[in-house]
Structure 1
Amino acid sequence: MSAPDPTRAPTAAQVRRWRQYLADERAEAAVYRDLAGRRAGEEREILLALAEAEGRHEAHWRDLLGDQTGTPRRGAVRTRLLGWLARRFGSVFVLALAQRAEARSPYEGDADATDAMAADERIHEEVVRGLAARGRKRLSGTFRAAVFGVNDGLVSNLALVLGIGATGVPAATILFTGIAGLLAGALSMGAGEYVSVRSQRELLEASTPNPAAQSALPHLDLGANELTLVYRARGMGAEEAEARAAEVLRTLAVATGSLKVQVDGAADGEVVDEHEAVGTGLSAAISSFCFFASGALLPVLPYLVGLTGLAAIIVAAVLVGLALLATGAVVGLLSGAPPLRRALRQLVIGFGAAAVTYLLGLLFGTSLG
């Protein structure tokens, strides 16, 4: 990427673009500083370093503009939105949005930006991805149960209400059927999620090294060296396992990390707490119950307020559609995927299932009539 010729006056289009870049860099640096203000320790230092890097990019555009900097502009709408969210929430959602913003950097295709700036933006995306991943990991257990719960409640109860309603039964029957579906589904989701998460945690615990094995290290037969087998069973080659075991025995390093050799290549002494990502059975069960119930309530609401017939069906479909769009967008934000695409996908899947059930209800209602 060639640098602009300092002997040539910039065009009006270049000046406009540079001024916008300058405004965007200022806004992005402010976002990272606002996020850092709500963090502590290492995360705060990383965010401040990102803000400093954006400041270097800001200086580049200011140097190119010289005396043509003009009145300070406002950053892009999405960057200003990020700043507003960062000042008020500072959550993983903001980091997920910042990750997407870094991925859309135009510098790689702009001859006026340096190669270092384009590389910085690419690396910034990975840095923010790493910070967001920490929050995603903390959320993943209960969040997974919440998303599954609310979507199951929305889709299954909408399908139930529409299917029963299409048969021509009275509105009171539809209402009580919907409430029964809400309670049955919420209890089933809560119980199923509890059993699922507990089973997964038990499997993880069965694969976790026994801390009591540490006390055996000083008494191992140095010739047979059974510790070598531990490392080989955890994925090391024979020579590497033998060298590691010899080192452990030689220093008698009986810290927990010395026996936890990660098959996936984690660094020595790095303990990856998979239990945290899974979540607890009780929290997952409560999340599933509550979110399924909240989702399943929406298709029933029109009948609770006295609506009947086509009006009730339309209102139920609209409420559920809005909720499906919202949950899809949230999932998209947290996963770093396009929120609109995820929202539309959620809407199509949910309405597709409900439409099939409604058509079946019409079919059965006609045959019974």
Structure 2
Amino acid sequence: MPADAPAAPRPITARDRRRWAQYLVDERAEAQVYRELAARREGEERDILLALAEAEGRHEAHWLEMLGGEPDRLPRPDLRTRVLAVLARRFGSIFVLALAQRAEARSPYDAEPFASATMAADERIHQEVVRGLAARGRRRLSGSFRAAVFGANDGLVSNMALVMGIGATGVAPSFVLFSGVAGLLAGALSMGAGEFVSVRSQRELLAATEPNNDADHVLPDLDLDANELALVYRTRGMSEADARARARAVVGEARDADRSVPYRRAAEEVEGHDVVGRDWGAALSSFLFFASGAVIPLVPWLFGLSGTAAMVLALVLVGVALLATGAMVGLLSGGPPLRRALRQLAIGYAAAAVTYILGLVFGVSMG
């Protein structure tokens, strides 16, 4: 038994050994997932992923020793781990890290009497490491991707509600189709314009609040012991003592080099703009994804269906799309995908039910 393993709380059974064999193959598969992800990354992220794979290898060694060596027959890794491996091999995307984050949160070692406390602690820390890696990807996606996902969802819900309400009045199928196309164009243009203004305004606000280098040329002329550059650093959150020390160092460097020394933190500017995203990119994504979502409820009428058959098919198609977008948002946010998917479906169907009932009422009153 490994040195750091707890003493066996009871006699070892065949069931225990089967469980250990499952742990063994799962640890191997998880290590491979991290190696696959590392192969698609560079620098620090690659090193972190390889370190995670190495940690999973230590856990694998623990179960190998508990089993007394490589068993003659091994089970397959669990379905979750196999899916992660396939996704990591083919895509290596933020979605894999989001799934891995949820997987690490469900460690079996907390209740496993033959796992060491170190292994259980490792798994908890792995969750936070993967959360940090996933957060980097989320920040990179948060601009245009946010507009894309919510644009598609808005298109699905709003145009489905529109065609369900119009269709319930009993008007001709061509009128339903025309109303849906008009709703698609109006909504897509509105979403694109709104997203452009929103992102452009955010970027302008960031630009107005970012530090600049306009005063660099006067730094050598500042008093070395009492200079207002310390006030600049204090406005950025430094303590008075740290701000004075930093200001003195910068002014001294500027004098020694006989040149200006930029004191702006350029990384803050780049990071802030990356989080917000690009205005034209966000607007185009919002337009296209709203349109792609809004066209789905129109598919039955585009293929010549009408009446109840068209509305039922529209509900099915939109339902599948709402489940997909909800699950996607859940994955990226680190939340339960199924719960987010069902929430999206309930919201979309509720909106369609309201407009359908209104359409029935108006259809009866007009008849």
Superposition TM-score, scaled by structure 2 size: 0.92
Equivalence for 2:346: 348
The one-letter code of the counterpart of 1:73 is P
1:233 is displaced (CA, Å) by 2.1
Query: For the Cα contact (< 8 Å) 1:190–1:286, is it kept in 2?
Result: yes
Equivalence for 2:337: 339
1:213 is displaced (CA, Å) by 2.6
Aligned with residue 364 of structure 1, among 353, 362, 365? 362
Equivalence for 1:314: 312
Equivalence for 1:32: 34
Query: For the Cα contact (< 8 Å) 1:15–1:68, is it kept in 2?
Result: no
Counterparts of residues 121-132 of structure 1 (less than 5 Å) = 121-132=123-134
C-alpha distance in structure 2 between counterparts of 1:223 and 1:47, whole Å:
47
Counterparts of residues 127-206 of structure 1 (less than 5 Å) = 127-206=129-208
The one-letter code of the counterpart of 2:17 is V
Range that drifts further, 128-137 or 184-193: 128-137
Q: State the Cα RMSD in Å.
A: 2.1
Equivalence for 1:260: 265
The answer to whether structure 1 residue 59 and structure 2 residue 64 are counterparts is no
The one-letter code of the counterpart of 1:219 is D
C-alpha distance in structure 2 between counterparts of 1:90 and 1:350, whole Å:
31
1:4 is displaced (CA, Å) by 4.0
The one-letter code of the counterpart of 2:35 is R
Aligned with residue 303 of structure 1, among 301, 312, 317? 301
Report the CA distance shift for 1:126/1:255 in structure 2 as closer, same or farther (over 3 A).
farther
- Find the residue that maps to 2:114 and give its secondary structure: coil
Equivalence for 1:265: none
Deviations 1:171-215 (A, max 9, x none): 111110000001111111111111110000000111111122333
Equivalence for 2:105: 103
C-alpha distance in structure 2 between counterparts of 1:5 and 1:283, whole Å:
59
Query: For the Cα contact (< 8 Å) 1:166–1:358, is it kept in 2?
Result: yes
Counterparts of residues 317-328 of structure 1 (less than 5 Å) = 317-328=315-326
C-alpha distance in structure 1 between counterparts of 2:7 and 2:241, whole Å:
58
Query: For the Cα contact (< 8 Å) 2:224–2:252, is it kept in 1?
Result: no
Gaps of 5+ in 1: 262-268
Gaps of 5+ in 2: none
1:248 is displaced (CA, Å) by 2.6
Query: For the Cα contact (< 8 Å) 2:225–2:248, is it kept in 1?
Result: no
1:270 is displaced (CA, Å) by 7.0
1:235 is displaced (CA, Å) by 2.7
1:129 is displaced (CA, Å) by 1.4
Superposition TM-score, scaled by structure 1 size: 0.92
Query: For the Cα contact (< 8 Å) 2:227–2:247, is it kept in 1?
Result: yes
The one-letter code of the counterpart of 1:357 is T
1:40 is displaced (CA, Å) by 2.2
The answer to whether structure 1 residue 218 and structure 2 residue 230 are counterparts is no
Aligned with residue 286 of structure 1, among 279, 284, 298? 284
Q: How many residues align?
A: 360
Report the CA distance shift for 1:230/1:116 in structure 2 as closer, same or farther (over 3 A).
same
The one-letter code of the counterpart of 1:297 is V
Report the CA distance shift for 1:160/1:270 in structure 2 as closer, same or farther (over 3 A).
closer
Report the CA distance shift for 1:237/1:44 in structure 2 as closer, same or farther (over 3 A).
closer
Identical residues among aligned pairs (%): 67
Report the CA distance shift for 1:223/1:109 in structure 2 as closer, same or farther (over 3 A).
same
1:9 is displaced (CA, Å) by 4.9
C-alpha distance in structure 1 between counterparts of 2:226 and 2:261, whole Å:
22
